[in-house]
């Protein structure tokens, strides 16, 4: 139900919103008098709290929004879930699934050993799932065969090899690091990891992607991911003073594995970032979400997917493909693989290869 060909049109993004305990639909777009007039024509109201225009949640209101913006802007409604006109209070809420509480000692141990926030979230989620599988039994009393049973369960669920390996690591950490048990987990079978070739974009595709219609913030984000070979978490953790314009370097503090490094900062990336900074003026982080909060990795992925579509690139790619493309293009130009390894923050050239 998008409004025809996007071309160079402005963009309005719809998203679910709860405002004053009512379900609403938020309309997100940069300041523009024509778009504001269209929003008002659709019956939208301004929220100082959420800093956006919003309309009641319902199909008729969505249709009114599309009609109001027709010919003026492309309406992106991918963020909306299927919802009805029925007020939220009238709908029965599904009972939340009870999730086991991970032992506090587990989280404290991870924090003391300076595991990254992402790893802590992953490990606690994995251990909670393991506990849920053995619901009704004490975690500390579980044996090697119970871990095998859980691994069989994961195989039946057809989770990825990396997911299964992370589960082994999370369980191993509890028994060996928290409880100080003998190394029973090293006998747990790990899946064989295939090594598919990474999906990369050609240099021509990268140019099309970065030149696709988008706002200055999104362009600066994608430009840095590609030109500096960043992981999404590394990009979102950057601050304005991480850019060393004089030396053409970007400082990456506490990257994967808690390691610091410097990577490349191209002149084009500097220009894209400076254009963005002059327009958006973030307060603390280099890239901030609404109301100055952290920008989410999920939103960054959506920015990348939207840019792929606008650039006419139909292959199935992930944001990480830009990082792979950075390394591949350097390698194709004759850059030493050990130098690329340092730029990417890899512990070994085997990972880079």
Dump the DSSP string for 144-170: HHHHHHHHHHHHHHT--HHHHHHHHHH
Nearest-angstrom CA–CA distance, 28 and 137? 48
> Which domains are seen in the chain, by residue range?
10-90 (3.30.780), 104-187 (1.10.150.130), 203-352 (1.10.443.10)
CA 209 to mean position of chain CA atoms = 18
What DSSP designation does 20 have?
A: T
In the chain, the percentage of residues whose pLDDT exceeds 90 is: 30
Nearest-angstrom CA–CA distance, 298 and 305? 11
Q: Is 352 left (phi over 0), alpha (psi -120 to 50) or beta?
A: alpha
What pLDDT score does 1 carry? Answer: 44
Residues 352 and 344: beta-carbon distance below 8 Å: yes
Closest listed residue to residue 38, CA positions, set 67, 9, 4, 3? 67
What pLDDT score does 34 carry? Answer: 86
What average pLDDT does the segment 201-214 reach? 92
What are the phi and psi torsion angles at 28 (to 5°)? -105, 125
Distances (CA, A) of 17 to 28, 57, 304: 11, 9, 23
Q: Express each pLDDT in 310-353 by its tens digit.
A: 999 998 898 888 888 887 877 767 766 665 566 665 444 344 44
Does the pLDDT at position 3 exceed 50?
no
Between 219 and 348, the higher pLDDT residue: 219
Percent helix / strand / coil, the chain, rounded to 5: 50, 10, 40
14 Cβ contact list (under 8 Å, min separation 6): 25, 26, 27, 28, 62, 65, 75, 76, 77, 79, 80
Between 292 and 241, the higher pLDDT residue: 241
Q: Express each pLDDT in 151-200 by its tens digit.
A: 999 988 988 888 898 999 999 999 888 988 776 655 677 776 655 666 88
What pLDDT score does 339 carry? Answer: 59
22, β-bridge pairs: 19
Nearest-angstrom CA–CA distance, 291 and 269? 25
Residues 263 and 330: beta-carbon distance below 8 Å: no
Closest listed residue to residue 253, CA positions, set 223, 230, 284, 277? 230
pLDDT band at 59 (very low <50, low <70, confident <90, very high): confident
Does the pLDDT at position 254 exceed 50?
yes
Q: Supply 69's token pair.
A: 């913006």
Residues 116 and 258: beta-carbon distance below 8 Å: yes
Q: Express each pLDDT in 74-117 by its tens digit.
A: 888 887 754 444 444 444 555 455 668 899 999 999 999 988 88
pTM value is 0.51
Q: Is 298 exposed, middle or buried (0-12, 13-18, 19+ CB in 10 A)?
A: exposed
Residues 319 and 300: beta-carbon distance below 8 Å: yes
Closest listed residue to residue 16, CA positions, set 59, 79, 67, 58? 79
Nearest-angstrom CA–CA distance, 113 and 316? 37
Nearest-angstrom CA–CA distance, 48 and 42? 19
What are the phi and psi torsion angles at 274 (to 5°)? -65, -40
Residues 16 and 81: beta-carbon distance below 8 Å: yes
Nearest-angstrom CA–CA distance, 245 and 240? 11
What pLDDT score does 160 carry? Answer: 85
């Amino acid at each position: 139900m998008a409004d025809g060909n996007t071309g160079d049109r402005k963009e309005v993004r719809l998203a679910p919103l709860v405002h004053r305990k009512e379900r609403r639909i938020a309309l997100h777009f940069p300041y523009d008098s024509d778009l504001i007039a269209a929003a008002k024509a659709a019956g939208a109201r301004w929220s100082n709290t959420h800093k956006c225009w919003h309309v009641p949640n319902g199909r008729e209101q969505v249709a009114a929004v599309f009609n109001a913006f027709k010919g003026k802007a492309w309406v992106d409604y991918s963020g909306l879930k299927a919802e009805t006109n029925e007020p939220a209070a009238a709908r029965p809420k599904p009972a939340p699934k009870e999730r086991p509480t991970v032992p506090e000692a587990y989280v404290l141990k991870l924090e003391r050993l300076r595991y990254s926030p992402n790893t802590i979230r992953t490990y606690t989620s994995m251990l909670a799932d393991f506990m849920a599988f053995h619901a009704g039994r004490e975690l500390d009393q579980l044996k090697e065969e119970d871990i095998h049973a859980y691994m069989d369960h994961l195989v039946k669920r057809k989770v990825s090899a990396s997911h299964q390996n992370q589960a082994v690591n999370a369980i191993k950490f509890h028994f060996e690091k928290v409880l100080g048990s003998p190394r029973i987990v090293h006998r747990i079978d790990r899946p064989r990891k295939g090594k598919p070739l990474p999906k990369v974009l050609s240099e021509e595709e990268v140019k099309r992607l970065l030149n696709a219609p988008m706002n200055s913030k999104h362009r600066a984000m994608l430009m840095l991911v590609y030109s500096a070979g960043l992981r999404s978490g590394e990009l979102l953790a950057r601050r304005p003073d991480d850019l060393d314009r004089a030396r053409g370097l970007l400082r990456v503090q506490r990257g994967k594995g808690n390691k610091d490094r410097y990577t490349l900062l191209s002149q084009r990336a500097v220009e894209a970032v400076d254009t963005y900074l002059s327009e958006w003026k973030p307060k603390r982080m280099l890239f901030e979400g609404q109301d100055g909060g952290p920008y989410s990795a999920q939103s960054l992925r959506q920015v990348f997917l939207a840019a792929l579509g606008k650039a006419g690139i139909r292959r199935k790619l992930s944001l990480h493909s830009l990082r792979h493309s950075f390394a591949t293009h350097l390698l194709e130009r004759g850059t030493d693989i050990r130098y690329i390894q340092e730029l990417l923050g890899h512990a070994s050239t085997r990972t880079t290869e």
